[in-house]
């Protein structure tokens, strides 16, 4: 039974995912490339821009994040960005080729008093002709409905890692808290952007675990960001061993096979990846990236570097 049929007819098992992660690399990438071509143009990559609209001071203790108030990383906290500045960033993102504009705030959850301003941002960015996405932490059902009514297309809420490894990364909320917010997002009619991070000291079994959770969502997330940890001094995970380029490409390939119709985004960590590693990831089924010089509070390759890479690969950003 092929990957597409299994998504529709049966739930994936842990054995399925672990077998894919252990498959010979060439065979795995070939299969993923075939699945990719069934649903997408392999020479097109969706371009998103992610901007921090509220930086630092977050009460959560995510061990990878320099925006947590628990860690001394030198990052200065800021208030919610003025709407006009957000709109200026969106305008620049569109001019530089982005089709989706993502707004991120370092909160455990937004306060109800912030919702009118956030909804106003969504409506005005959408009026520019951009897809809209936000990541604001946990949402109540009412907050999710407000964002949906304002026109928010996607809500990002990553599960980060497997359920079994989750409390080694975050202790101020549970894995189930994450799932509850994703359910509220679905109920409100928005698309889900949900992925994870690798290189946090997890085992291969944990990578299988987080991919299994994503693939068995009904439906799977429409957008799946796969992040390589950006190690930051002062965070508990700042000295974690990085994942090799080949292993990262393997994860991309497995995500593509498990979630054939999803955008699989090569997300954080591209600044540290070679052109060859990125090319392998696109061959393995990645078809979305974040563009721009900065990714929230960390470096990103930037327009000139990306343009050179995609010209070499014959790939078009859409």
Residues annotated as part of the active site? 58, 62, 65, 102, 133, 193, 265
Give residues with Cβ within 8 angstroms of 206, minimum separation 6.
Answer: 161, 162, 164, 165
Q: What are phi and psi of 70, to 5 degrees?
A: -80, -20
Give residues with Cβ within 8 angstroms of 211, minimum separation 6.
Answer: 17, 196, 251, 254, 255, 258
- Quote the tokens at residue 143: 């907050």
Spell out the SS3 assignment of the chain. Answer: CCHHHHHHHCCCCHHHHHHHHCCCHHHHHHHHHHHHHHHCCCCEEEEEEEEEEECCCECCCCCCCCCECCCCCCCCCCCCCCHHHHHHHHHHHHHCCCCEEEEEECCCCCCHHHHHHHHHHHHHHHHCCCEEEEECCCCCHHHHHHHHHHCCCEEECCCECCCCCHHHCCCCCCHHHHHHHHHHHHHCCCEEECCEEECCCCCHHHHHHHHHHHHCCCCCCCEEEEEECCCCCCCCCCCCCCCCHHHHHHHHHHHHHHCCCCEEEECCCHHHCCHHHHHHHHHCCCCEEECCCEECCEECCCHHHHHHHHHHHCCEEC
């Amino acid at each position: 039974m092929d990957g597409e049929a299994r998504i529709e007819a049966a739930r994936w098992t842990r054995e399925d995912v672990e077998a894919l992660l252990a498959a010979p690399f060439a065979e795995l990438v070939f299969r993923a490339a075939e699945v990719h071509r069934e649903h997408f143009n392999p020479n097109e990559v969706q371009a998103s821009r992610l901007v921090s609209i509220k930086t630092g001071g977050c009460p959560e203790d995510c061990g990878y994040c320099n925006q947590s108030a628990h860690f001394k990383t030198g990052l200065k906290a800021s208030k919610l960005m003025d709407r006009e500045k957000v709109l200026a960033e969106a305008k620049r993102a569109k001019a530089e080729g982005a089709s989706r504009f993502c707004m991120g705030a370092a909160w455990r959850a937004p306060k109800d008093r912030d919702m009118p301003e956030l909804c106003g941002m969504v409506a005005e960015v959408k009026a520019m002709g951009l897809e809209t996405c936000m990541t604001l932490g946990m949402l109540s059902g009412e907050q999710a409905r407000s964002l949906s009514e304002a026109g928010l297309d996607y809500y990002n809420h990553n599960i980060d890692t497997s359920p079994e490894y989750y409390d080694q990364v975050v202790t101020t909320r549970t894995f189930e808290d994450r799932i509850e917010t994703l359910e509220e997002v679905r109920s409100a009619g928005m698309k889900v952007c949900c992925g994870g991070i690798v290189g946090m000291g997890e085992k291969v079994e944990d990578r299988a675990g987080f991919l299994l959770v994503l693939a068995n969502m009904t439906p799977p997330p429409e957008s799946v960001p796969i992040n390589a940890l950006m190690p930051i001094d002062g965070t508990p995970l700042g000295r974690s061993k990085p994942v090799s380029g080949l292993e990262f490409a393997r994860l991309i390939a497995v995500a593509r096979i498990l979630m054939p119709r999803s955008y699989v985004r090569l997300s954080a960590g591209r600044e540290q990846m070679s052109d060859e590693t990125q090319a392998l990831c696109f061959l393995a089924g990645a078809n979305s990236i974040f563009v721009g010089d900065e990714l929230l509070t960390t470096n990103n390759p930037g327009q000139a570097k990306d343009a050179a890479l995609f010209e070499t690969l014959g790939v078009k950003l859409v």
